[in-house]
Structure 1
Amino acid sequence: MRDPCEVAPMLLGATISTDVAVRIVEVEAYRGEFDPGSHAFRGRTARNASMFGPPGHLYVYYIYGMHWSANIVCWPEGQAGGVLLRAGEVVDNHEVARTRRVAAKTDRDLARGPARLAQALGIDGSFNGTRIGDRIRLEASPEPVEWTSGPRVGVSGAGGTNEYPLRFWIPGDRHVSPYRPGKP
């Protein structure tokens, strides 16, 4: 139960797992009503209700009418805030990840991007509201990792600018997704 901007870099190097394990290399923090890039900026809706807590649960949403993405909820119940799992490296059970991500040309692309990461882990809408430790596990990195931050990927408006450097990643990691600005 902390500010998503504090939790985000702490997740880098951690392993998240279902029947597949992924080492997290890139995340984005979202700060609810304080963040114009957040789904919860304008308040609670049926879609974003899980983002309002409790902390330590998943907020899973459908995007572009075809992909699932997952956030770890951080702030206390009633206050929206979470960290988007943006990219990772599959570190266990590659075979299962490959069956879920048949379009991936290389193992590098199995979990490179939020929708790919969710798909590799088998995360879908049924995970929305799931407590970490139930159907999904999170293990901290055994040692601190170096990280950097900058604007979020694909977020339009003020929330995608340098005013909100809320994307965190492990520099030089080949599984980090390429930066692209949001569409105006």
Structure 2
Amino acid sequence: MDMDFFKAKDTITVAKALLGTLLTYDHLGQQYAGYIVETEAYLGQIDAASHAFRGKRTVRNEALFAPSGAIYIYQMRGLYLLNVITAAKDTPEGVLIRGIEPVINLTQMIENRHGQKGINVTNGPGKLCQAMALHTLSYNGKRFGEVPLDIEVDHRAVPKTVLAASRIGVPNKGEWTEKALRFYVAHNPYVSKLPKKMMDFKTRGWQTDESTNF
């Protein structure tokens, strides 16, 4: 991952800019890749939904305090969730990768998801990690590209429209429950919990079909 990507960008800007970039992972001889279609911003100590709210710092969330471009993976309900650290060292802000459009190794992704097919393969943060066989905490604090996990910011698809909405699964956090800090490629079927009537299976929300050819 090119660290210049983070220069002069705040966390919300990064969350939007990640849409259309290519998430890649090499594991046990298998290569996986998918275009990022949905992200969720977390704004550190002021954000009641953040793991670092009010400066909380533990062994579990230590990677949140790493410099921009670092990896933060955590477990929830037995699944792994992948985050990109977006701010300077000791400023615990990041972006959750919520959904990807599969590009490489869909057959193996389906197998990893125990036979789940279609959009259900990767239309959620836990789903995409399971599909890509990303089930380790050993990359925490390391930068994308230093390990077999990377985000190719120059090899990208271009969204027609980026929309903002409230985050998913963030109840009882006051104003932070409703803040529009989730960003997604409009009409892409792999966006989590997108109503079917809003899905475009032809263009998938990209500017041209050619932009998503790998």
Query: How far apart, in 2, do the equivalents of 1:154 and 1:95 lie?
Result: 29
Tell me which residue corresponds to 1:35.
47
How many angstroms apart in 2 are the aligned matches of 1:143 and 1:11? 10
Question: CA 1:10/1:69 → structure 2, altered by over 3 Å: closer, same or farther?
Answer: same
Q: Provide the C-alpha distance between the structure 2 equivalents of 1:149 and 1:169, rounded to a whole number of angstroms.
A: 7
Q: TM-score, normalised by structure 1?
A: 0.89
In the alignment, which of 59, 79, 82 is matched to residue 46 of structure 1?
A: 59
Q: What residue identity is the alignment partner of 2:177? A: G
Residue deviations 1:56-114 (CA, integer Å, cap 9, x gap)? 111000112x111010001001110110000111111112212211141x231111100
Q: Which amino acid aligns with 2:63?
A: S
Matched, 1:116 2:131: no
**Deviation, structure 1 residue 127:** 2.6
Number of corresponding residues:
175
Task: Please list every run of 5 or more consecutive structure 1 residues that lacks an aligned counterpart in the other structure.
Answer: 180-184
Are the aligned partners of 1:13 and 1:145 in contact in 2 as well (CA < 8 Å)? no
Q: Which moved more, 1:133-142 or 1:29-38?
A: 133-142
Q: How many angstroms apart in 2 are the aligned matches of 1:103 and 1:96?
A: 10
Q: Which has the larger radius of gyration?
A: 2
Q: Which amino acid aligns with 2:128?
A: L
Q: Percent identity?
A: 33
Match among 186, 192, 201 for residue 171 of structure 1: 186
Residue 166 of structure 1 deviates from its aligned partner by 0.3
Contact in 2 for aligned 1:27/1:84 (Cα 8 Å): yes
Q: Do the aligned partners of 1:62 and 1:68 also contact (CA within 8 Å) in 2?
A: yes
Closer/same/farther in 2, CA of residues 177 and 27 from structure 1, 3 Å limit: same
SS of 2:53 mapped into structure 1: coil
**2:151 aligned counterpart, secondary structure:** strand
Of residues 3, 9, 12, the one that matches 2:19 is 12
Q: CA deviation at 1:55?
A: 1.2
Query: Given the alignment, which residue of 126, 130, 149 partners 1:136?
Result: 149
Question: Are the structure 2 counterparts of residues 173 and 144 from structure 1 closer, same or farther at C-alpha, using a change threshold of 3 Å?
Answer: closer
3-state SS of 1:122 partner: coil
Alignment match, 1:182? none
Letter in 2 for 1:112: N
The range that moved more, 80-89 or 150-159, is 150-159
TM-score w.r.t. the length of structure 2 is: 0.77
RMSD between aligned residues: 1.5
Alignment-derived partner of residue 79 in structure 1: 91
Shift of 1:130: 2.9
Cα deviations by residue, 1:107-157 (Å, 9 ceiling, x for unpaired): 311111000111122222223223111211212225454201011001012
Q: Is 2:71 the counterpart of 1:58?
A: yes
Is 1:26 aligned with 2:41?
no
Q: Which runs of 5+ in 2 are unaligned?
A: 1-5, 26-30, 195-214
Structure 1 segments of 4+ aligned residues over 4 angstroms from their partners:
none
Equivalent residue letter for 1:116: K
- In the alignment, which residue of structure 1 is the partner of 2:28? none
